[in-house]
Structure 1
Amino acid sequence: MDIVFTGHVIEWRGPSPFYFVPLPEEQAADVREVASMATYGWGVVPVEARIGAVGFETSLFPRDGGYLLPLRKAVRAPEHLAAGDEVSVRMSVRL
């Protein structure tokens, strides 16, 4: 399943900051349809994603009925991403 969306980078403060892009509701609904076939525990869904020139593998985190796409520093730094930036994401769920 291929998914394309735009969203804003958010920062989640904790012991160390984490950065995510929330999936829009329409795309989150698409992921929910295949999540049971893809998840490997507590609802995380493995994906391959691309933002700009950076491709990466990660897992979507379930949150409040939707999903968050984590952005590691290895993704943020080359694309110069910070909280509040709008990004275009191309992603596929790994079944």
Structure 2
Amino acid sequence: MKFEFEAELWIWEARRSDNWTFVRLPVEASEEIHDLAAGPRRGFGSLRVRVTIGASSWLTSIFPGGGAYVLPVKRAVRKAEDLDAGDIATVTVELLDF
């Protein structure tokens, strides 16, 4: 299952010095994913995904938090796609292992 959406990049305040940057999945998509993922999950409730932003694709996990899943956007992708916190990105998230 794939979800495509636009989201703003933001820095996790608790790890601001490390520059951990995320996007938040839409609430509707998060609710649908939550329903699909019912049952035991990996650490912190994470789910494995394949992500595409621009020409960059990578494997990572999404994590529940604040009423929606959040997705870390690694530095190499931000650099390759010329993205910074506050920018809006078009994101495709594909659930794996379903």
After TM superposition, the score normalised by the length of structure 1 is 0.90
RMSD value, Cα = 1.5
After TM superposition, the score normalised by the length of structure 2 is 0.88
1:38 CA drift (Å):
8.2
Of all paired residues, the percent bearing the same amino acid is: 34
Match 1:75 to one of 74, 77, 85 = 77
Distance 1:82 1:5 in 2: 17
Give, as a single letter, the amino acid of the residue that structure 2 aligns with 1:8: E
Q: Which residue of 1 aligns with 2:61?
A: 59
1:10 CA drift (Å):
0.5
1:87 CA drift (Å):
0.5
Q: Deviations over 1:32-81 (max 9, x none)?
A: 12223683232011100100000011100211221111000111110011
Structure 1 segments unaligned to the other structure (5+ residues) = none
Give the 3-state SS of the residue equivalent to 2:63 in structure 1: strand
Q: 1:38 to 1:21 in 2, by over 3 A?
A: farther
Structure 2 segments unaligned to the other structure (5+ residues) = none
Give the 3-state SS of the residue equivalent to 1:36 in structure 2: coil
Q: How many residues align?
A: 95
Give the 3-state SS of the residue equivalent to 1:76 in structure 2: helix
